[in-house]
Amino acid sequence: MTDDLRPNYDEALVLDAVDRFLEREVRPHVHALEASDTWPAEIVEKMRELGLFGATIGEEYGGLGLPASTYAKIVERVSAVWMSVSGIFNSHLIMAAAVERFGSDAQKARYLPRFASGELRGGIALTEPDCGTDLQAIRTTARRDGDRYRVNGTKTWISNGIQGHIVAVLVKTDPKTEPRHRGMSLLLIEKGEGFRVGRKLEKLGYKGIDSGELVFDECEVPCENLVGEREGRGLQQILAGLELGRINVAARGVGIARACLEESIAYSQVRKTFGKPICEHQSIQIKLAEMATRLEASRLLTEQAALAYERGERCDLEAGMAKLFATETALFNSLEAMRLHGAYGYSKEFNIERYYRDAPLLAIGEGTNELQRLIIARQLIERHPA
């Protein structure tokens, strides 16, 4: 039996239930599932029972309606055990956030309860073979034909694209319009005729969760699946969702950085060199202090961004800073943990090599860290005019 988070609105109780789920249902299976790159069907079923697919969806739609700060703490905990599990509900919830924030009443009623229960799972399909950062350069088109759109194009690197049932797809409804974003829209596309999985993509880390190439070939989508039922709003709609996405990636960074620190603190007290535990060597102490300090700063930045999001404030600066710093900390801590563990850090029998393989994705996904720096700088100028 898995706990159900629904009756528990006290944050401590929610986090306790998540911890129990992780210890019972996830931790014992991580090594085997990671090694075989297996999509964790049983874990997904337990996540449904727990209500994780509706974590941030409003209670009126059957979700848990958790605030972003509690959600960030859940993501941190999950990622400290196996980051891949967080990917299965994170991009699903970004898709749900776009529908909840910008969808019509009919779209909310039709989709949100099924998203919340995990009956319909999915993600967001923005990236294409030729572009990721420069989203306005996408080539996937949706051509209006009576009461439907005909969608053509290829999306790549789509998390949950193979195992999921539906994706929120960024398309060009008017490829010629300038500025380009005015011709972009967001369509909810369910699996069916004209929508096929091209291939599963092989990766350095982030095993278990599927990353797919999706091909749309004259795929017919009813016009009622256009988010907000108005063309030209797609880029804004998805960028607003990415604020939550960046808080969630920051929280993943905090989780990886914490796991690296905790395992390093434990290991450094049992591993001995030159007659004493390595934690008594000053250079190891400096590593632990540096890792711990960066971790605390990452957690505070993430919490600050989540609280701004909860207050409904524009928070691209805060989310950008949290994402940048926490993910760089995950990279830093995973390398320091590997050095500190010596050969055991490099071993498949320990967790450190997995953290080291998972961390770089955080610097790429939900907007690269190069892009975050640009967003932060632009916001600084905008908020502090001369």
Ligand X SMILES: Cc1cc2nc3c(=O)[nH]c(=O)nc-3n(C[C@H](O)[C@H](O)[C@H](O)COP(=O)(O)OP(=O)(O)OC[C@H]3O[C@@H](n4cnc5c(N)ncnc54)[C@H](O)[C@@H]3O)c2cc1C
Q: Which parts of this chain interact with ligand X (CB under 6 A)?
A: 91, 123-127, 131-133, 157-159, 203, 206, 211, 361, 364-365, 368, 370-371, 374
Q: At what angle do helices 68-102 and 105-117 cross, to 10 degrees?
A: 140
Please give the full DSSP string across 51-90, using - where no structure is assigned: TGGGTTS-GGGTS----HHHHHHHHHHHHHHHHHHHHHHH
The least CB distance from residue 368 to ligand X, in Å, is: 3
The least CB distance from residue 252 to ligand X, in Å, is: 12
Choose between 109 and 374: whose C-beta lies nearer to ligand X.
374
Both tokens of residue 271?
Answer: 């591993």
Residue 366 known to be catalytic = yes
Tally the C-alpha atoms within 13 A of residue 377's C-alpha that lie toward its C-beta.
6
The least CB distance from residue 273 to ligand X, in Å, is: 37
Separation CA 27–CA 344 (nearest Å) = 19
Amino acid 39 reads: W
Choose between 348 and 378: whose C-beta lies nearer to ligand X.
378
Choose between 126 and 330: whose C-beta lies nearer to ligand X.
126
Angle at 14 between CA 93 and CA 161, to 5 degrees: 25
* Cis previous bond, 179, omega within 30: yes
Choose between 158 and 257: whose C-beta lies nearer to ligand X.
158
Amino acid 249 reads: V
Which residue's beta carbon is nearest to the bound ligand X? 132
The least CB distance from residue 98 to ligand X, in Å, is: 13
The least CB distance from residue 171 to ligand X, in Å, is: 12
CA dihedral 151, 157, 160, 164 (to 10 degrees): 20
The least CB distance from residue 227 to ligand X, in Å, is: 15
Separation CA 39–CA 244 (nearest Å) = 25
The least CB distance from residue 373 to ligand X, in Å, is: 8
Choose between 268 and 327: whose C-beta lies nearer to ligand X.
327
Candidates 313, 366, 370, 382; catalytic one: 366
CB neighbour list of residue 206: distance below 8 Å, 6 or more residues apart: 83, 84, 87, 357, 358, 361
Choose between 124 and 291: whose C-beta lies nearer to ligand X.
124
Choose between 210 and 336: whose C-beta lies nearer to ligand X.
210
Tally of CB atoms within 10 A around 342: 13
Give the Å distances, CA to CA, from 5 to 143, 223, 237. Answer: 42, 36, 29
CB neighbour list of residue 238: distance below 8 Å, 6 or more residues apart: 98, 124, 126, 135, 168, 170, 186
* 10-17, long-range: CB < 8 A, 24+ apart: 11/70, 11/73, 14/64, 14/66, 14/70, 14/74, 15/70, 15/73, 15/74, 15/77, 17/50
The least CB distance from residue 74 to ligand X, in Å, is: 19
Choose between 47 and 361: whose C-beta lies nearer to ligand X.
361
The set of catalytic residues is: 366
